[in-house]
């Protein structure tokens, strides 16, 4: 439908055929977006939809400027409540378990505000009327999505933007360092990487591989190593890397995002000492998950693989190692800084919105339990 904002056209994609047709324009938009985010690619969202559609309906908001797609807000829509008294929850498509969410916007600053205006108008109408609550997921404090949402909400519009909780994300910004290679060398020394590698090399042939191929076989090996580590700890892990449905999704992601998936390893005589699953997208490496062999714990396998990864990334021109959500000594000893990332939602002001947010939390928990099977 046309929108009064200077030639912009607004559409809602609500079926799989429309999502498939959007692949090219979405991918082109994501590639030129000022904020690069692997979790906002078409491949991630479409793969998620194939595995976790549940009873949802697609609700992907698309803004065109002439022949170009300039903004996308990817959602799925689920209805809660009894017929006639229910309301919709809009879930970020593929963002419920992702480390970052948001909109895909091909502009920044004032231009981002202009091209997202039709999306915000649509969301505000539904939220202010009490017909919907929007689950936005994890947004960086400096994200353009958060900036345009903050400008558009408030009491005058009867819609509140709420930070439900926040988390720490350690990272190492190579671009901010005068000499990244020397800095990484100092970190390796501080974390005893060289001595540990030397000791390991005295007994085994040690090989580091940044990108294991084929990815499918490497991922199965990663899962097996992950299970061994948690079994040795006598603890039970959770999340996508553990459940049957989650692992099926990640196997498909390893295919659909093959260009960006990185399964790295440190091996001793061919056996994995440590492995790390991550993505390289734009100028950032996302270090999602590690797994270690318990029998090599004396060599500090987690520090070994991070130290070798950092050297490779600096040499290849990557600008940032993102350790992802969750602080801890094992990350802080390498990271140069920590960013706060909030989990956000938008609902009607007052008691109606508070009740809707509570119901949304119950739905999120139920959906997580289904993914955990």
Q: How many helices (H) and strands (E) does the chain have?
A: 12, 15
Structure-block tokens of residue 81: 């409540």
In the block, residue with structure tokens 């099926």 = 248
pLDDT by residue for the chain (373 residues), tens digit each? 555 555 899 999 999 999 999 999 999 999 999 999 999 999 999 999 999 998 899 999 999 999 999 999 999 999 997 655 788 999 999 999 899 999 999 998 889 999 999 999 999 999 998 889 999 999 999 999 999 998 877 654 678 899 999 999 999 999 999 999 999 999 999 999 999 999 999 999 999 999 999 999 999 999 999 999 887 776 677 789 999 999 999 999 999 999 999 999 999 999 999 999 999 999 999 999 999 999 999 999 999 999 999 999 999 999 999 999 988 888 999 998 999 999 999 999 899 889 999 999 999 999 999 898 8
Omega cis (within 30) before 351: no
Q: Are 112 and 103 in contact (CB under 8 A)?
A: no
- At residue 22's C-alpha, the angle toward residues 13 and 1, to 5°, is 45
CA distance 59 to 286: 27
**Bridge pairing between strands 60-65 and 8-13:** antiparallel
CATH number listed for the domain at residues 8-158+349-371: 3.40.630
Q: Report CA torsion sign: 25, 27, 33, 37.
A: positive
Q: Are 332 and 172 in contact (CB under 8 A)?
A: no
Q: Are 236 and 336 in contact (CB under 8 A)?
A: no
Three-state SS annotation for 237-261: CCCCCCCHHHHHHHHHHHHHCCCCE
The CATH number fitting domain 171-339, selected from 1.10.10.10, 3.50.50.60, 3.40.50.300, 3.40.630.30: 3.40.630.30
DSSP-assigned beta bridge partners for residue 14: none
Domain with CATH 3.40.630.30 in the chain: 171-339
Question: Residue 212: CB partners within 8 Å, gap ≥ 6?
Answer: 218, 221, 263, 264, 265, 275
The angle that helices 215-233 and 244-256 make with each other, rounded to 10 degrees, is 150
> What is the chain's alpha carbon radius of gyration, rounded to the nearest angstrom?
22
What DSSP assignment string belongs to 109-169?
HHHHHHHHHHHHHHHHHHHHTTSEEEEEEEEETT-HHHHHHHHH-BGGGTEEEEEEEEEEE
CA distance 130 to 159: 9
């Amino acid at each position: 439908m046309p929108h009064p904002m200077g030639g912009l056209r607004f559409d809602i994609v609500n079926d799989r055929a429309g999502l498939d047709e959007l692949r090219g324009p979405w991918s082109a938009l994501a590639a030129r977006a000022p904020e690069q985010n692997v979790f906002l690619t078409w491949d991630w969202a479409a793969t998620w939809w194939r595995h976790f559609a549940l009873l949802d309906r697609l609700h992907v908001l698309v803004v065109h400027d002439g022949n170009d797609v300039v903004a996308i807000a990817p959602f799925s829509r689920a209805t809660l409540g009894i017929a006639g008294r229910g309301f919709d929850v809009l879930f970020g498509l593929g963002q419920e378990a992702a480390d970052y969410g948001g909109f895909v916007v091909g502009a920044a600053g004032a231009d981002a505000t202009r091209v997202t205006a039709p999306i915000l108008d649509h969301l505000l109408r539904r939220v202010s009327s009490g017909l919907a609550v929007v689950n936005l997921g994890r947004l960086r404090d400096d994200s353009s999505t958060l900036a345009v949402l903050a400008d558009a909400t408030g009491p005058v519009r009867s819609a509140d933007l709420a930070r439900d909780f926040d988390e720490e994300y350690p990272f190492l910004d190579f671009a901010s360092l005068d000499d990244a290679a020397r800095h990484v060398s100092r970190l390796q020394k501080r974390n005893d990487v060289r001595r540990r590698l030397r000791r390991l090399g005295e007994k085994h042939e040690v090989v580091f591989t940044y990108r294991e191929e084929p990815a499918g076989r490497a991922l199965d090996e990663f899962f097996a190593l992950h299970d061994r580590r948690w079994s040795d700890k006598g603890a039970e892990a959770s999340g996508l890397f553990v459940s049957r449905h989650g692992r099926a999704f990640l196997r498909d992601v390893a295919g659909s995002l093959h260009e960006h998936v990185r399964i790295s390893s440190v091996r001793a005589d061919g056996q994995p000492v440590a492995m790390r699953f991550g993505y390289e997208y734009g100028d950032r490496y996302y270090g999602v998950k590690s797994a270690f062999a318990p029998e090599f714990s004396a060599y500090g396998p987690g520090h070994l693989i991070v130290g070798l990864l950092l050297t490779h990334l600096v040499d290849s021109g990557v600008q940032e190692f993102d350790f992802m959500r969750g602080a801890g000594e094992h990350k802080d000893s390498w990271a140069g800084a920590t960013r706060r990332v909030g989990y956000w939602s938008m609902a009607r002001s007052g008691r109606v919105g508070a009740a809707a947010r509570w119901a949304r939390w119950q739905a999120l928990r139920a959906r997580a339990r289904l993914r955990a099977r």
